[in-house]
Amino acid sequence: MRTIMMDVDGVLVCGRPQDGAHLFTDLKQDLGIPPDVLQREFFRPRWSAIVTGQKALVPELSEVLAVIAPTVSAEALIDYWFVNDSRINQDVLRAIGELRAAGDRVYLATNQEHMRANYLMTDMGLEGHVDGIFYSAVLGHRKPSNEFYTLATEAAGTPPESIVLIDDTQDNVLAARDFGWNAVHWRPGMTLSGELAAFTS
């Protein structure tokens, strides 16, 4: 039995539901917030602490929006963000079902803060398609840190050599291999069954 660790963004979930474009493609048009300003004022200075569970999303985002977009609430931006980053790759989702039916365990292994992790599992219904989720805000560490792989391995209760990570970020893949996992650098056009064929149970 293999344990498959699936990255989320860029592998299983890819952009806006209607066209797959980046979630903030129309952010300035829709909410009046330039994406580069949001990156500069929120994501660059604050995201690392949020995604590793040290700080909460809503108060951090509220502080920033009070300065850069006073008429937009944190809740409104979060709703916009989550809805516009929810396009599920149906081919990957079907392949996950086939893997589980064949006896493999499949987990999400992802850098997420608490609210979006819950949204992925409950609102998007992914909890019904995987065996669980290991995410950075709960673990206190994000990929590609060694601690992320250590804690995920312990939580999965399986030897590192039985784990295969599917991830679209090369640094995460290389770190996973250094830790002892198998790993696939996911790119457009790949199929899950094709890539996993090289890794026997």
State the pLDDT at residue 1.
Answer: 86
Assess whether pLDDT exceeds 60 at residue 20: yes
> Is the separation of the CB atoms in 129 and 146 below 8 Å?
no
Q: Where are the alpha helices (DSSP H) in 6-105?
A: 27-31, 35-38, 44-51, 57-68, 74-83, 90-101
> Is the separation of the CB atoms in 156 and 3 below 8 Å?
yes
165 phi/psi in degrees, rounded to 5: -95, 135
Please identify which residue in the block is written with the tokens 């770190």: 175
Assess whether pLDDT exceeds 60 at residue 201: no
The Cα-based distances of 173 to 20, 49, 160, 179 in angstroms read 24, 22, 14, 10
**How much is the mean pLDDT over the chain?**
97
> What's the one-letter identity of residue 188?
P
State the pLDDT at residue 22.
Answer: 97
Model pTM score: 0.96
Assess whether pLDDT exceeds 80 at residue 122: yes
Six-digit token string for 132? 């669980």
Per the DSSP assignment, residues forming a β-bridge with 167 are 185
Residues 33-51 have pLDDT tens digits of 999 999 999 999 999 999 9
Phi-psi label, residue 135: left if phi above 0, alpha if psi -120 to 50, beta otherwise: beta
Residues 85-119 have pLDDT tens digits of 999 999 999 999 999 999 999 999 999 999 999 99
State the pLDDT at residue 40.
Answer: 98
Residues 143-196 have pLDDT tens digits of 999 999 999 999 999 999 999 999 999 999 999 999 999 999 999 999 999 999
Assess whether pLDDT exceeds 90 at residue 200: no
Six-digit token string for 16? 């806006």
Assess whether pLDDT exceeds 70 at residue 65: yes
Six-digit token string for 151? 């804690």
The domain spans of the chain are 3-16+87-196, 27-83
The Cα-based distances of 152 to 3, 14, 15 in angstroms read 11, 23, 26
Q: What is the DSSP letter of 123?
A: I
Handedness of CA 175, 163, 8, 132 (dihedral sign): negative
For the 3-16+87-196 domain, the top CATH level (class) is alpha beta
